[in-house]
Chains A and B, each alone.
Chain A
Amino acid sequence: METTLKSFYRLLCLTFLLLPLNLFAEDQTRIDFYKTIRCLVCDGQSIYDSETVFAQNLREQIKLKFDEGFSKKNIKDQLSKIYGEDISFQPSSNDFFLWFIPFLILFLLLVFNFGRYAKKKN
Chain B
Amino acid sequence: MNKIKVLIIPIVLFLIALVIITNLGNVKTSVKKPMPDLPDLIFEELSYFKKEAIGEKFNNQKYLVNFFASWCAPCLAEHPTFMKLREKGVIIIGVNFRDDENNLNAWLNAHGNPFEYIIRDEGDIAFELGLIGVPETFFVDGKVIYKKVQGPIFGDDIEEFL
Please list the residues of chain A having a beta carbon within 8 angstroms of any beta carbon in chain B: 40-41, 52-54, 57-58, 60-61, 64, 82-86, 95, 97-98, 101, 104-105, 108, 111-112, 115-116, 119
Contact = CB atoms under 8 A, between A and B. Distances in A.
B124 A40 contact: no
A97 B22 contact: yes
Interface stretch (B85-93, B128-136, B137-145): B128-136
A112 B30 contact: no
B23 interface: yes
Contact of B30 (A58, A86, A97): A86
A104 to B, nearest CB: 6
A64 B123 CA distance: 11
B132 A112 contact: no
24 contacts: A41-B132, A53-B133, A54-B131, A54-B132, A54-B133, A57-B123, A57-B131, A58-B127, A61-B124, A83-B130, A84-B29, A84-B30, A84-B33, A85-B30, A95-B22, A95-B23, A97-B15, A104-B15, A108-B8, A108-B11, A108-B12, A111-B4, A112-B5, A115-B4
B30 A57 contact: no
9 closest A-B pairs by beta carbon, nearest first, are: A84-B30, A57-B123, A82-B130, A61-B127, A115-B4, A119-B1, A97-B19, A83-B130, A112-B8
Contact of B18 (A40, A57, A97, A108): A97
Contact of A82 (B16, B18, B127): B127
Contacts of A98: 19, 22-23
Nearest to A82: B130
A101 B15 contact: yes
Contacts of A101: 15-16, 18-19
A64 to B, nearest CB: 8
A85 B15 contact: no
A85 B26 contact: yes
A105 B15 contact: yes
B119 interface: no
B130 A112 contact: no
B148 interface: no
A53 B128 CA distance: 15
Contacts of A82: 36, 127-130
B26 A105 contact: no
